[in-house]
Amino acid sequence: MQMALSPRAEALLKALIERYISDGQPVGSRTLSKQAGLELSPATIRNVMADLEDLGLISSPHTSSGRVPTALGYRMFVDSLLTVRPLDSAEIYRMGDELAYDGDPMHLMESASSLLSQVTRLAGIVLVPRQEESFRQIEFLSLPAANRVLVILVTSSGRVHNRVIRVDRHYSAAELVEAANCFNDLYSGRPLSEIRNSLLADLQSDGDAMQRAVKNATDMARHVFADSESSALDLVVSGEANLLQIPDLGDVEKLRKLFDAFTTKRDLLHLLDRSMHAESIQVFIGSESGYQALDECSVVMAPYQADGRVVGTVGVIGPTRMAYDQVISIVDVTARLLGGVLSTEAR
Amino acid sequence: MQMALSPRAEALLKALIERYISDGQPVGSRTLSKQAGLELSPATIRNVMADLEDLGLISSPHTSSGRVPTALGYRMFVDSLLTVRPLDSAEIYRMGDELAYDGDPMHLMESASSLLSQVTRLAGIVLVPRQEESFRQIEFLSLPAANRVLVILVTSSGRVHNRVIRVDRHYSAAELVEAANCFNDLYSGRPLSEIRNSLLADLQSDGDAMQRAVKNATDMARHVFADSESSALDLVVSGEANLLQIPDLGDVEKLRKLFDAFTTKRDLLHLLDRSMHAESIQVFIGSESGYQALDECSVVMAPYQADGRVVGTVGVIGPTRMAYDQVISIVDVTARLLGGVLSTEAR
DNA sequence: GTTTAGCACTCTAGCATTCAGAGTGCCAGA
DNA sequence: TCTGGCACTCTGAATGCTAGAGTGCTAAAC
């Protein structure tokens, strides 16, 4: 189906999409003919456009007004016609400054997301995956309030989960330290999911065979591991408000669905999970994403690395009519910057 | 200026506003005359309405269409005409179930905010004030990564702040425990702000007179106290998406400003701070709030208590045309439920 | 003196009509 | 294979019209 286009048709499609992206108006043959670079009469252009329409790359909103790219058209544009506009180094430098790292990776993700939304004037998203996380350290603190213990879990990425739990009796500080030590020795470096399952299994066997300290630790740890599973914190979205003023997304009902997707996060997580496994930048255009809420949106995501391993993905979400040439390089740079911060940091 | 209205004018105003709230259409004299309870001809009603308009309580969008309440009209309605519709106990019970408390007060606030937004179909907000917080406990954990220490601060409300800091050399676990003990002994129960200032003063004096352990603790604690000042986490907003589908807030530009206010939080914090000092429910109508972004919105807030002391405020934000009778009692009940959870919990 | 009926007036919302402009498709000629 | 020309279509803005809803005012009725 995807027969090769003639070079002329390609050039025309490229010019049309670029024009549409900057104007937002359907593009007609006259307009395109006046455009420098193509010395063709409107009539010729009309013929070519008719071919492009047959191929499903462009369409006209109504019988007789200019053409508009379809999702397929954008796809071809992004895949093979686009000339990405690299950022100048001053810009990159400025962006790097904005990425503040204070030790809390969550803050870093938030600042990356917010940076993206400011620079692109779209919504920025950062996915902080949990599946790869492993256990680093647990600690139990006795609280003054009766029979309360604060459980603190530190994961390999440096994220910290804490939770206050009620316990059945008072534990001395020494007991708590011992329990933590046992647990740390037992599970250090193991993936969270594995530990979670293991804890669940322990709960069922309920063996009296276990040492007391280990048993205590297991009981208390269970709560915070249950928390760490919740993926609520894994996705950071910012700059949603930018989407409000984009005329392309005028349909209030669709906009509401989109915002719902931001708060629910479920669908987005699935989608972004896919982009994790890609080598480089990925662009989901319109309904390609498979989620209704994103029908009129495109998502541009780039995986970022820490010490050579992909640990998450970062990008933006905006209308299908977005300035891909700029957005792609901005997302690319952000992913690199983020990777840089994470990697130097770990050294 | 606020001369007493005749009972008839009051009844009329009340009927008009109730009608407008449920319909969203300007209300004319005929409509009002047909309404049960008032046996008056349209002409009479027109006379009264003219008076109400002179008083600035209602206005007509254009020369000849029905009347619409002004902010002043809503104010009088809310202050003296409104018959609050109490929730039935089943409803209250159901809401109580939704307020899950797992030991983390932040989760509780989020669930309260989300509960409000679901029940009212508006945006829910919860203010968690910081000024009243006092110090409960600090702890330092050594991390495997070179020269990193995790600082954990627990405040009186049970909130936990953590931060990873770099230190100049390796500290042994024993050193860290000692430092924490010193610090805890020194500052237990004192207000955060006081400690913050004290730490700042110490930094300047830089006295060699201080014990080494105390000095270490002070240096490390400084970072997390700086964090705890940031008020970013103090305001929880949820259900913003609900506002999108409200026809009254059709102006996209205003909506964008409103969403910006949600993410900036600064203005909202100021406003809500005011509502903290009120005894009971407060309603800010339209431009009364003094913030442009809230021009076409009303804010209904109720302070909530923990053990008899007001510790925060909870409520909703929506269009000026909202069902005050229901919203007010929903907010009221939520504040009580929240207070209940916080108080039983502390016992 | 309050209330009501009647009347002239005003403004909106919807509808049909018109008209210019932009764009298309197609055909015939270069 | 490209281009010029022509008939056709569709949109969007402007216009005029009408019905409906609502008002303000005045004079009569209670």
List, for residues A141-157, the tens digit of each pLDDT value: 887 667 888 888 888 76
Q: What is the pLDDT of residues A157-216, one digit of tens each?
A: 677 787 878 888 888 888 888 888 888 888 888 888 888 888 878 777 655 556 777 777
What CATH class does B89-130+232-346 carry? Answer: alpha beta
- 8 Å CB contact between B293 and B257: yes
B12 burial class (0-12, 13-18, 19+ CB within 10 angstroms)?
buried
CA-based angle B70:B75:B76, to the nearest 5?
100
What residues contact residue A161 under an 8 Å CB cut-off, 6+ apart?
A152, A153, A155, A224, A227, A228
Cα–Cα distance measured from residue B116 to residue B118, given in angstroms and rounded to the nearest whole number? 5
- Tokens 């700059």, residue located: A239
Say which DSSP state B132 is in: T
* DSSP bridge pairs for B67: B27
- Give yes or no for residue A2 having a pLDDT over 60: no
Using pLDDT thresholds of 50, 70 and 90, give the confidence band for residue B347. Answer: very low
Q: What is the pLDDT of residue A347?
A: 47
Cα–Cα distance measured from residue A324 to residue A13, given in angstroms and rounded to the nearest whole number? 15
Domains B7-81 and B89-130+232-346 share a fold: no
Per-domain boundaries in chain B? 7-81, 89-130+232-346, 135-229
Chain A residues with CB-CB distance to B260 below 8 A: 241
Cα–Cα distance measured from residue A243 to residue A245, given in angstroms and rounded to the nearest whole number? 6
Domain A89-129+232-346, CATH among 3.40.190.10, 3.30.450.40, 3.20.20.80, 3.40.1190.20 = 3.30.450.40
The average confidence (pLDDT) of chain B is 85
Which nucleotide lies nearest residue B45, CA to C1'?
Answer: C3
- 8 Å CB contact between B30 and B64: no
Q: What is the pLDDT of residue A68?
A: 94
Q: What is the pLDDT of residue A1?
A: 45
Mutate to test the interface with A, among B252, B345, B347 (most CBs of A within 10 A): B252
Q: What is the pLDDT of residue B200?
A: 79
- Give yes or no for residue B212 having a pLDDT over 80: no
Which nucleotide lies nearest residue A30, CA to C1'?
Answer: C23
Cα–Cα distance measured from residue B149 to residue B176, given in angstroms and rounded to the nearest whole number? 9
Q: What is the pLDDT of residue A128?
A: 82
Domain B135-229, CATH among 3.30.390.60, 3.30.420.40, 3.40.50.12500, 1.20.120.1200 = 3.30.390.60
Lowest mean pLDDT among A19-28, B158-167, B338-347: B338-347
Domain A7-81, CATH among 3.30.2180.10, 1.20.140.10, 3.20.20.140, 1.10.10.10 = 1.10.10.10
Contact A144 B158 (CB under 8 A): no
Task: Taking residues A40-51, report their average pLDDT.
Answer: 89
Protein-proximal nucleotides of chain C (any atom < 7 Å from a CB): 3-6, 9-12, 21-27
Chain B residues with CB-CB distance to A238 below 8 A: 263
Q: Nucleotide C10: nearest residue by CA–C1'?
A: B64
Max Cα-Cα span within chain B: 88
Contact A241 B256 (CB under 8 A): yes
Chain B residues with CB-CB distance to A103 below 8 A: 148, 163-166
Interface A-B: count of C-beta contacts within 8 A? 87
Cα–Cα distance measured from residue B253 to residue B256, given in angstroms and rounded to the nearest whole number? 5
